[in-house]
Homo-oligomer: A and B are copies of this chain.
Amino acid sequence: PGKKVLIVYAHQEPKSFNGSLLKIAVEELTKQGCSVTVSDLYAMQFEPRATRNDIVGPLHNSEAFNYGVETWEAYKRGHLSKDLVEEQKKVQEADLLIFQFPLFWFNMPAILKGWVDRVLVQGFAYDLSKIYDGGLLQDKLSLFSFTTGGSKEKYAIRGDIRYLLWPMQHGIMHFCGVRVLEPHICYAPENVSEEKRKEMLAAWTQRLKTLWKEEPIDCSPEWYFK
């Protein structure tokens, strides 16, 4: 109760299974007394491209554009574009970040990757030696909740689903100091029965009820690769 949650949501269709998972999270967490904010990326027409437009006013070095350096400088001077400042404010206030999306090519959809590329700038999310457990977004939790196209068995044939979580959970969240809860994976909702889909939705509601009692995973190579 009183906790703040930011859900970064990347699906085009409210009637989708991802849309249902989002709705459940908003309802259940609100019921618990949490304050829930949603960044609905497609509805916002969120810009995924990292360009010069992210810096308001003159560049630090207009001779050769370096996105990392320019956004770092712009952050320090308060010269980042308005959409980025708004997202950073949401992140700053959140106790928990939930990413809700359909897996595209063993990864998040480009619009969500663009949110990561553009919002988590140096100075805000990490800094020179402030990475991993020393990252700037400590005391926050994160949870990757996603759907897949293929079945659980298909992912198990060649490797393990955890392999693809490494760049997202470790490379992004852990890098910024954010602790990571177990991912929530709904396998192939489009290819199962209506009953099975309802079970999956109920399982998500159920998990959310005790979410705040969960321990973060140990985000080390062992968790991912045994």
Contact = CB atoms under 8 A, between A and B. Distances in A.
Nearest to A171: B106
Contact of A105 (B110, B171, B190): B171
A22 B16 CA distance: 40
A138 interface: no
Chain A interface residue number, banded: 35 or more
Contacts of A104: 50, 113, 116-117
Interface string A151-194: 00000001110011011101110010000000000000010000
A113 B167 CA distance: 14
B12 A224 contact: no
Interface string A93-109: 00000000000111111
A164 B120 CA distance: 19
A158 B220 contact: yes
A113 B112 CA distance: 10
A116 B48 CA distance: 14
Contact of A65 (B13, B63, B149, B171): B13
A121 B114 CA distance: 20
A4 interface: no
A50 B16 contact: no
Interface of A: 12-13, 15-16, 42, 45, 48-52, 63-68, 104-111, 113-114, 116-118, 120, 132, 149, 158-160, 163-164, 166-168, 170-172, 175, 190, 220-221, 224-225
26 contacts: A12-B51, A12-B65, A13-B64, A16-B64, A16-B65, A42-B49, A48-B49, A48-B110, A104-B117, A105-B117, A105-B167, A106-B166, A106-B168, A107-B113, A109-B113, A110-B110, A110-B111, A110-B113, A110-B116, A110-B118, A113-B113, A159-B170, A159-B221, A163-B166, A164-B167, A225-B225
